[in-house]
Amino acid sequence: MARTYQDTFSAARQTLAQRIISHPLAHFLSPHDRERLQLVIDGTAKDTYTFLSLEFRKAGTNASLYVEAEPLLGWREERKDAEGNEWMEYGIRSKMNFPCHGSTEPGTVLARLAFYQEIALLAAEIQAEMASPIHKMIRGAQEIAQMAEKAAAEREAGTLQSYVRAKGHGLRAGGKSRYYDAPNELSMAGVKPGDHEVKLNEGAPNFRHFHVELAENGNVKIRRIA
């Protein structure tokens, strides 16, 4: 039975952005990062699979906070709902990074350590508060169907081109047709019965245009048009 999902990705980002911008550490964010957080809160930030990354600056140092959404479902696991939409389940992971300074006066060291500790505590609180998985629709059913249709068309075109390259050599434009009875050594699997136009553009003056008729019983008729 297909699972039921609710898209919580954007709402979780908005909640997290509000959580951070309301925190005392937000005073140590650059104006650019504060603006990015506000765009997320307003719902006007560009859609992205990156959750949040921010840099704090204080006491002559800096530290980065990364909040990442890590996929929890493997590509072989069922990720579609009853309507055929494809989803991904994410777990939130917080990480931080800070530079390694050389020899430094002890008071500065303590100030920097306290600063790093504040950010580490915020990262730990975020991960604890966002322990439940979140979900995001990554492809709609219509998009999936269109992708499958496009892939099938590309496979069909490739099969026809391979067949014509092998069987259409020597044919002259406007000349006689060539017939092949099924089965033959080259497969036309995946090609729909009917009329097909095949163009082999291998650079002037090697452009060739063929008409291929594939019968329901697998018989093939090839005629060169140009």
pTM over 0.85: no
Helices 9-21 and 31-42, packing angle to 10 deg: 140
Domain spans, the chain: 9-139, 147-224
Cβ-based burial of 9 (10 A; exposed 0-12, middle 13-18, buried ≥19): buried
Q: Please write the tens of the pLDDT for every residue from 99-145.
A: 988 898 999 999 999 999 999 999 999 999 998 999 999 899 999 99
pLDDT score of 164 more than 70: yes
Find the Cα–Cα–Cα–Cα dihedral 210, 214, 215, 221, rounded to 10°: 40
pLDDT at 194: 93
Chain-centroid distance, C-alpha 26: 31
Find the Cα–Cα–Cα–Cα dihedral 186, 189, 192, 198, rounded to 10°: -40
Q: Please write the tens of the pLDDT for every residue from 54-98.
A: 999 998 899 999 999 999 877 667 788 889 999 999 999 999 999
Comparing CA positions, the residue from 66, 17, 10, 68 lying closest to residue 38 is: 17
Residue 220 phi, psi (nearest 5): -125, 140
Q: Please write the tens of the pLDDT for every residue from 167-193.
A: 888 888 888 888 888 766 677 888 999
pLDDT at 75: 67
Report the DSSP pairing between strands 220-224 and 178-180.
antiparallel
pLDDT at 133: 92
CA distance 54 to 66: 7
